[in-house]
Amino acid sequence: MSESHDRPQDARPWDPAGTQPKHDPDALLPDTLEPVLPPDAEVVESDAIDEDGGDLLPERRPGAGAPAVAVAKKSSSYAPRFQFVTGALVAVGLAALVGIAVLIIAPSTKTPEPPWSPWKPTAGGTAGAAQIAEHVAPEYKESGQQLVKIDANDMSFQGIPLTVALQTAPEQGGRIQIHNEKGVLYQLCGLTSTCAIDQGKPSEERFLLLRRAALELALYSFRYLKDVKQVVVLTPPAKGELPTVALYFQRNEVRDELDRPLTSSLAPHTPSVENVTGSPDTPLVKHVAHGQYLFTLNGQGFNNGGLLVLKPYSPAAAKELQKELKARQAASGG
């Protein structure tokens, strides 16, 4: 008799291959589990039995119940408002991100500031000063003719460095101020041996126009020549006299003019001797280019250099200086 005939009737089917579980699945189910079949579940009946009367199909198990469906909570009456606010905040955040991206990626639309002047020198130092002189000189005319040529140099004379010794007016204390800062020395010179202008007659209008030229030279120098702090401009003498009158400019005196375009200070079209008094920039020229001095060169300066002595101008002092210079010239055979 086969060993299988000695098994109890409720035992699991004989499993020589070991494919059946070693425990009773029913034992894993709760005692109170009620079998629940889905409405559409099909029950398959089989008459197949083995030769010993055992069922060849796995033991029937109760069908798993359908998962319980959670009952939706009743929505709040405020939910639409919260959803609207949330959507608005998200939209604002996206707009901000887009704006930042545009600022980073898009090219700047800021309008560049206009240049200080339509023209500027291409060199610095003495070469730059010479370019400024060449640019300014042809613009100043009388009766359609250029008044002067302009020579430019650093603060030196015949290779000897100069230190400015500026004496203030008696009403200002008459003190001597030493200025050894970097500077430029310009000389306005007519076409005579003494630099006198060989055309027309000396007049207040002509000297006013020369003062305007001196101011333009100073503004260009302060704006474009590095570290220049002072400018001295020697003006032409009257015929038969020697140069004795200079104009003196310091950077801090024209700070406002350097911070705005040149055309805001000086009219774009240079006036002539004939119409200079009607030029819109004449009040500024009279105000800024008022520093009129008598100049002399003294060889006994600092550091083996020379002194460019500037003293307040007066007609009487000008006459005395002319006599002194002519006497020196005669003594030297000049």
User: DSSP letters along 203-229, please?
Assistant: -HHHHHHHHHHHHHHHHHHHHHSTT--
Residue 76 pLDDT greater than 80, yes or no: no
pLDDT for the residue numbered 58: 52
Q: If you average pLDDT over every residue of the chain, what do you get?
A: 80
| pLDDT range class, residue 324, cuts 50, 70, 90 | very high
Indicate the helix (H) or strand (E) that contains 311: strand 306-312
CA-closest candidate to residue 235, choices 307, 313, 327, 162: 313
Q: CA of 129: how far to CAs of 167, 310, 331, in Å?
A: 26, 22, 35
By the 10 Å C-beta count (0-12 exposed, 13-18 middle, 19+ buried), 2 is classed as exposed
- In whole angstroms, give the CA distance from residue 137 to residue 140: 6
- In whole angstroms, give the CA distance from residue 290 to residue 300: 28
Q: Averaged over 246-258, what is the pLDDT? A: 96
User: What distance lies between CA 44 and its chain's CA centroid?
Assistant: 88
Q: Averaged over 2-14, what is the pLDDT? A: 50
Residue 232 pLDDT greater than 90, yes or no: yes
User: DSSP letters along 87-137, please?
Assistant: HHHHHHHHHHHHHHHHHHHSPP-PPPPPPS-S---SS-HHHHHHHHHHHHG
Query: Structural domain boundaries of the chain?
Result: 125-331
Residue 115 pLDDT greater than 50, yes or no: yes
pTM: 0.68
pLDDT for the residue numbered 153: 95
Token representation of residue 47? 């008459």
Residue 299 pLDDT greater than 90, yes or no: no
pLDDT for the residue numbered 290: 84
Identify the three-state secondary structure at position 64.
coil
